[in-house]
């Protein structure tokens, strides 16, 4: 059974967002786990069976459009994460978010765009949602969308035998 915390449900309601269906994927997995680390592949703003917020920031789209696109993109990340975990309450920390913003040359408001996703993660997970972040401007993204986001997450190991006991990670092979 999939469970979302009340805080996550309240944040969605406040922002006027719904939990998205999972977007189709290509030849990669949307989520990969290693011990207590989860890497969530890049997700685009997807809702109601189609990609949303197509266009470029600084041309067809405003910063507010971009912020909304970033929220939908990171929400897709969380939907894939929930499908993997079954319970977003197992999230211990959002470590990092990478954001890619499709924009015109010279557009310098990239952080304001991905702030939409960052603020939503903080609202949903509290201090555990505060994360490191990289934001990069790009000339193209799949399906012509304006934003793509990916996450690195740490999950609690207690109560989940699939993750292994603390300290039981295999040594790194450098």
| Per-residue model confidence (pLDDT) at position 24 | 66
**Cα gap 71→48, rounded to integer Å:** 15
Alpha helices in the chain (DSSP H): 6-15, 63-85, 110-125
- Report the percentage of the chain scoring pLDDT > 70: 86
CA distances to 16, 23, 30, 118, 164 from 19, rounded to whole Å, are 10, 12, 17, 17, 30
37-43/31-34 β-pairing: antiparallel
Please state the rounded mean pLDDT for residues 103-114. Answer: 97
pLDDT in tens, 62-86: 999 999 999 999 999 999 999 899 8
Model pLDDT for residues 134-147, shown as the tens digit of each residue: 999 999 999 999 99
pLDDT greater than 70 at residue 22: yes
Which residue reads 């993997």 in tokens? 84
pTM of the predicted structure, to 2 decimals: 0.84
Joined tokens for residue 82: 């929930």
């Amino acid at each position: 059974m999939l469970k979302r915390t009340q805080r996550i449900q309240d944040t969605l309601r406040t922002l006027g967002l719904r939990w998205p269906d999972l977007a189709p994927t290509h030849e990669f997995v949307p989520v990969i786990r290693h011990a207590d680390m989860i890497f969530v592949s890049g997700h685009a703003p997807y809702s109601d069976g189609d990609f949303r917020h197509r266009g470029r920031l600084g041309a067809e789209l405003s910063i507010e459009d971009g912020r909304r696109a970033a929220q939908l993109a990171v929400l897709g990340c969380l939907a894939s994460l929930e499908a993997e975990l079954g319970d977003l309450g197992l999230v211990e920390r959002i470590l990092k978010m990478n954001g890619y913003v499709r924009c015109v040359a010279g557009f310098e408001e990239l952080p304001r765009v991905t702030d939409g996703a960052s603020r939503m993660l903080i609202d949903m997970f509290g201090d555990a949602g505060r994360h490191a972040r990289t934001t990069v401007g790009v000339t193209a993204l799949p399906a012509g969308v304006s934003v793509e986001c990916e996450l690195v997450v740490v999950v609690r190991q207690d109560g989940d035998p699939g993750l292994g006991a603390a300290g039981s990670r295999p040594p790194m092979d450098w």
